[in-house]
Structure 1
Amino acid sequence: MSYPAPWHTIGRHALLPAAQHDERARFDVVAHLNAHVAQRLAPKVREAYESRALNAWRMRHGHEPADRHQVAEAMKQDPAYRAFSLVRRNTMEIRQHAGRTLVAREAERLSGAARAANEGAATLRLDPNLDLPRYVTAVDTHLMQGGYTAERTALDVSNAANYDAGMYATIGGSGGPWNDAAGRALVAWLKQQHPQFAPRCIVDLGCGLGHNTLPLREAFPQAEIVAVDVAAPMLRYGHARARARGFDDVQFLQADATATPLADNSADLVFTTMVLHETSRQALPKIFAEAHRLLRAGGLTIHLEQPPYRGLPAFEQFMRDWDGRFNNEPFWSALHETDCAALLAKSGFGSANVFESRCTAPPAGGSTRGDEQHEDFGRAPAWYAVGAWQVAKGLAANG
């Protein structure tokens, strides 16, 4: 069995909370528990399904489970699955508690550091009058109390710092030292599949604190980069974090991804990374329509997510659906049952210009991942990608 490297090996910057020995140890324990869940407990769940639950279901119903719902019914009392779910849920609760206690001690310093880094910067644009979508404000996503938008004090960045410090433990180090694997995966895909593509303006919708924005700045140093999110605390922290890492020209903009203030035909690349499942059925087509509005002719929109359930074996659907049932991800299941390719086509791109692909992150220097190839049903550094090219006079450009 392989394990992630220690928490202290993650990328350091001035905004990262300064963890003490026991705080580092808590994150290491959670990361190792997540590795145990993926490498030891998940295979036992499959074994239990194939050796016990599947046969019992066949005997009762005369057929195999047809979908994830029937697999869930077959497995709900199985001790292997109950143990898997118990440990996985507890690791998320422990991880959030570890992050909160670390950040609470550092909250005043972090707020001051972010304020000092952001003061007078034209590259951070916040909108205090923005109407925040309910799918963000009503849910403690990933069990993080208050979610992305919570502000306990003026200019608070506590939850953003919690998210940054604890992401390593949540995904067992698979994001690399800077937790930017999805951004690196997108860059690798672009360089391999479309090496001549040279965007002049790149828009990251739902950027969070910008983990996956910065690899695009590294890959396309001449491009204008605009990172968009609804959560002011994430943007304040993310902007200060980017500056602390030497990325002084990345723009952080508070806006709703369904209706940004950016101009028509102003972007060459509009992307999201693991954002769509945190939106809603109503917002999703509006986000795709906004991407269509923003793109110039020859531009590209691409969205990295976990794979849709269509075509997957019922057991894999069931395992991948865990976050939708137990990790405060209310749109997870519905998103993965949605045909995003068809939805993009209806958003103005046309079916001939829509594609599906796969993006895999190359190894990062100083990787914190113990075993990057292990199947963990959603936390490996590889993503399903769905996208579309904007067309010029009926012809796909760059496609």
Structure 2
Amino acid sequence: MSKMDVPPPYTAVTQHEMFPKPNHDEAARFNFLANLNRYLSGDLGAGNRLAYERRVLPAFKAEHGREPVDRHEIRHAMNRDSWHRFWSAMKRNSMEMRQQNGRAVVLRQLDELDSMARQYNEGRATLQLDPAVEVPRYQAAVDIHCMPGSYHGEERPGDVSAGANYDCGLFATTGGALGALNDGGGQAVAAWIKKERPDWNPKRILDIGATVGHNAVPIAQAFPDAEVIAIDTAAPSLRYGHARAQALGVKNITFKQMNAEEMAEFADESFDWVQTTMFLHELSNKALPKIIGEGARVLKRGGLMFHIEQPQYSDEMPLFEQFMRDWDAFNNNEPFWSAMHALDLKQIMADHGLPREGQFVVGVKAVVDENIFPPSPEGATEDYGRAAIWNAYGAWKPEAAQ
């Protein structure tokens, strides 16, 4: 790998007080995993296409007398190929190692983390937990991306273990592509709206599926006069996320435990901006339309709905690319990934009062953290994988009822 491809030591990410502090060996493991993930996604991952074109596709055509008709046929054929099975096992093991190391870092210092979180959280109206909120079965039934207990798991009642594990390991999972604070996505969203509508000053913003607030906090920082409400069903993630925001000095954000499928507490047309970031793919096909519908209900006329996600599968996307993007659904405990990316999100938004003529799709690239990655060489067109890239599915709600 070139120098541009290699993130710095993992200790570069410990930039707020709530962040779990790794010792030497833990930091070394995370740094190894960050580079391994970049290698698996880059140079090593390219071997999958070679395996498909040179072995799997010719064998499939010889057996069936035709090319595959969908991504599922490619998956079944590729799963018999030794190279793809090797790569897939490495990728799965890298996630399991990331979770193992993250939990080791957190559990070693859980007493200190819980104590610090209590200092930031107790008596603050900006953290609103509700024990009556149930974790939906579609989230409780699976350890999402191999995280033990998922976002809502507790080692003991009232702890922050799930949120702390998520925050400290995201650097390794993304190969540093979200920056030192894992907030490159939120920074990108804030920068996009500032450029798109420089005079727009939303007063009330709703972030759904907030996890630890790493995407909502940059938005709150970009709009300091706005009231930002970040909701999730997972209390341990909210406890940690609120303490994290307080440690970063962000005061205009409230973390609230709520299921977005029913937000009766929020009045109709009470938010200027409703958004999610890499959340829709973790929803069941029943929950997703409900959440978009509720989001549209609470969105003001002329307001923005904005969903950051991976691109939807379409006839224009090659079947092999669909297959590769599907890997998480079958190997990384993301059971709704495949089905969600085949949904017609535009139609779902249209069904809930956001007509297609007001919709748009835009590419959003995480803001590059130059403390981690130096600027691209002058004149270079290659990004060197320094920042994550997503699609955003957005809509401006009509000013008048349709």
TM range (shorter): over 0.9
Q: Distance in 1 between matches of 2:135 and 2:26?
A: 33
Q: Distance in 2 between matches of 1:278 and 1:368?
A: 30
The residue that corresponds to 2:309 in the other structure is: 305
SS at match of 1:330: coil
The residue that corresponds to 2:252 in the other structure is: 249
The residue that corresponds to 2:296 in the other structure is: 292
Deviation (angstroms), 1:295: 0.9
- The match for 1:151 among 154, 157, 167 is 154
Unaligned 5+ segments in structure 1 are none
SS at match of 1:329: coil
- The match for 1:348 among 342, 346, 353 is 353
The residue that corresponds to 1:373 in the other structure is: 383
Deviation (angstroms), 1:362: 2.9
Contact conserved, 1:168 with 1:175, CA < 8 A, in 2? yes
Deviation (angstroms), 1:74: 2.2
Q: Which runs of structure 2 are paired with 1:111-260 in the superposition (5 Å)?
A: 111-260=114-263
Residue by residue over 1:140-183, the C-alpha shift from the partner in whole angstroms, topping out at 9 and shown as x without a partner, is 11111111111221211111111110000011100011111221
Q: Which runs of structure 2 are paired with 1:256-335 in the superposition (5 Å)?
A: 256-260=259-263, 261-310=265-314, 311-335=316-340
Deviation (angstroms), 1:186: 1.3
Residue by residue over 1:221-241, the C-alpha shift from the partner in whole angstroms, topping out at 9 and shown as x without a partner, is 111111111111111100000
Residue by residue over 1:301-321, the C-alpha shift from the partner in whole angstroms, topping out at 9 and shown as x without a partner, is 010011111121011111111
Say if 1:116 and 1:225 are closer, same or farther in 2 by CA, change over 3 A: same
Q: How many residues align?
A: 392
Q: Distance in 2 between matches of 1:370 and 1:333?
A: 35
Please report the RMSD computed on the Cα atoms of aligned residues, expressed in angstroms: 1.8
SS at match of 1:116: helix
Contact conserved, 2:226 with 2:252, CA < 8 A, in 1? no
Contact conserved, 2:209 with 2:231, CA < 8 A, in 1? yes
Deviation (angstroms), 1:196: 2.8
Residue 275 of structure 1 aligns to which amino acid in structure 2?
F
* 1:86 partnered with 2:59: no
The residue that corresponds to 1:77 in the other structure is: 80
Say if 1:210 and 1:314 are closer, same or farther in 2 by CA, change over 3 A: same
Deviation (angstroms), 1:109: 0.9
* 1:359 partnered with 2:364: yes
Say if 1:368 and 1:138 are closer, same or farther in 2 by CA, change over 3 A: farther
TM-score by length of 2: 0.94
Q: Distance in 1 between matches of 2:233 and 2:374?
A: 31
Q: Which runs of structure 2 are paired with 1:41-60 in the superposition (5 Å)?
A: 41-60=44-63
Residue by residue over 1:169-204, the C-alpha shift from the partner in whole angstroms, topping out at 9 and shown as x without a partner, is 011100011111221221222123232322111110
* 1:392 partnered with 2:396: no
The residue that corresponds to 2:31 in the other structure is: 28
Q: Distance in 2 between matches of 1:358 and 1:25?
A: 33
Deviation (angstroms), 1:328: 0.5
Name segments (4+ residues, structure 1) moved above 4 Å: 368-372
Identity of aligned residues (%): 46
Say if 1:210 and 1:350 are closer, same or farther in 2 by CA, change over 3 A: same
TM-score by length of 1: 0.94
- The match for 1:339 among 333, 339, 344 is 344
Deviates more, 1:191-200 or 1:86-95: 191-200
Contact conserved, 1:307 with 1:336, CA < 8 A, in 2? yes
Residue 20 of structure 2 aligns to which amino acid in structure 1?
P
Contact conserved, 1:217 with 1:225, CA < 8 A, in 2? yes
Residue 384 of structure 1 aligns to which amino acid in structure 2?
N
Deviation (angstroms), 1:264: 1.8
Deviation (angstroms), 1:343: 0.4
Q: Distance in 2 between matches of 1:308 and 1:387?
A: 13
Unaligned 5+ segments in structure 2 are 377-381
Q: Distance in 1 between matches of 2:393 and 2:24?
A: 42
Q: Distance in 1 between matches of 2:75 and 2:21?
A: 42
Deviates more, 1:237-246 or 1:304-313: 304-313
SS at match of 2:289: helix
Q: Distance in 2 between matches of 1:312 and 1:51?
A: 21
Contact conserved, 1:174 with 1:369, CA < 8 A, in 2? no
